[in-house]
A = this chain, B = another copy of it.
Amino acid sequence: MLEAIGLGSLDELFQQIPASVRLERPLDLPEGVSEMEIVSDLRQLAGKNRHADDLVCFAGGGAYDHFVPAVVWALAGRSEFYTSYTPYQPELSQGVLQALFEYQSMICELTAMEVSNASLYDGATALAEAVNLSRTSPGRDRVLVSAAVDPRYVETLRTYGRGAGYEPEIFEVVQGRGGSPEVGEDVACVIVQHPNAYGLLEPARELFGLAHAGGARAIQIFDPLSLGVLAPPGDLRADIAVAEGQCLGNHLNFGGPYLGIIATRLDDVRGLPGRIVGETLDVDGQTGYVLTLQAREQHIRREKATSNICTNQTLMAIAATVYLAWLGPEGLAELGRRCVSKAAYAAERLADVPGVEPLFGGEPFFKEFPLRLPRPASEVLDGLIERGFLGGVPLEDADGHALLVAVTERRTREEIDGLALALKEVLA
Contacts and interface: CB of A to CB of B under 8 A. Distances in A.
Interface of A: 35-36, 43, 53, 67, 69-70, 74, 78-79, 409-410
A67 B36 CA distance: 7
Given A36-B410, A410-B36, A79 B74 contact: yes
Contacts of A43: 53
A410 B40 CA distance: 10
Contacts of A409: 36
A338 to B, nearest CB: 11
A43 B54 CA distance: 11
A70 B35 contact: yes
Contacts of A67: 35-36
Nearest to A67: B36
Nearest to A53: B43
Nearest to A69: B35
Given A35-B67, A35-B69, 7 more contacts: A35-B70, A36-B67, A36-B409, A36-B410, A43-B53, A74-B79, A78-B78
Contacts of A35: 67, 69-70
A74 B53 CA distance: 24
A49 to B, nearest CB: 16
Nearest to A37: B412
9 contacts: A35-B67, A35-B69, A35-B70, A36-B67, A36-B409, A36-B410, A43-B53, A74-B79, A78-B78
A236 B74 CA distance: 45
A135 to B, nearest CB: 43
